[in-house]
Amino acid sequence: MFKIGTLADWFGVGLIEGIRESERCGATGVQIYAAGDLDPRTVSSAQVKQVRDTARACRQTVTALCGELGGYGLEKADDNPEKLNYLKKVIDLGLELDCRVVTTHIGVVPADKSVPRYEIMRQACMEIGTYAAERGSAVAVETGPEAIDTLSAFVDDCGPGIAINYDPANIVMVTGVDHVEGVRIAGKRIVHTHAKDGKNLVPVNAEEFYHGFAEGGLEWMQSQGALVETPLGEGDVRWAEYLSALRDVGYDGYLTIEREVKNGAEDIRMAVRFLTDAIAKL
């Protein structure tokens, strides 16, 4: 029904060993950051071959590449040419790794289409979506800053090649909208998911929060005391209902474990066991 993946970098042992750890813990897929040693702007053909060969030897599908844009994502027109060029290189790198999904954060999509940045973001996504679609790939926008109906309408407005990477914890921790009902709204637009859990501690304005993060980074976010990421099953994601909703909309892809903490390896291994049990109970 579902397949379980991990994010190789969060094992804390480097990319190549992270791929091997993913196999050891029982996952069948691995997501990789298109950064550092695997930055498509600087990576060598030998490095790409090593990653591809390691993944194949470990029987790991590369579920997606993570193309982090940083800052305001695609909200600022002057920044977008460079960012779109980077995403195109990520798409091309993905194809070398037998991967056809790129996940990214694009900023905050305004619910009101008359807000000027809506069209800036749409034009940028149309360009990168066309590039992806022509190559049989998709750029999956990660959930978090906006209501799912807003994001779904935006994805439709962008045309082919733009999809959704569904992260229930981002929704729980920031927007507080129903992450289960959101699956039913997003439906077939979902091409990849992150298996993450968390809690909201202090209600926030999602747009202000994400823009604060764009300016101040991780230190600013942590200083707010507004949310906490937790091991799977210890937060407010309703896993049985969430997985049932994914099944009902026809999603049968990867549940890719994301545990954004230092020394997260044991939590990742626990998450594989947690998801295996949860899937078996559906």
Which CATH number do you get for residue 185?
Answer: 3.20.20.150
pTM of the model: 0.97
Question: Encoding tokens for residue 23?
Answer: 């196999």
Select from 1, 82, 74, 18 the least CA-distant residue to 259: 18
Which residues fall within 8 angstroms of residue 26, CB to CB, at 6 or more apart? 4, 272, 273, 276
Range of the domain at 72: 3-280
Q: Is the pLDDT of residue 166 over 90?
A: yes
Select from 127, 130, 120 the least CA-distant residue to 77: 120
Give the pLDDT confidence of 48-75 residue by residue, as tens digits: 999 999 999 999 999 999 999 999 999 9
Number of domains in the chain: 1
- Phi, then psi, of 215 in degrees rounded to 5: -85, -45
Rounded percentage of the chain residues whose pLDDT exceeds 90: 96
- When pLDDT is averaged across residues 258-278 and rounded to a whole number, the result is 92
Give the pLDDT confidence of 221-241 residue by residue, as tens digits: 989 999 999 999 999 999 999
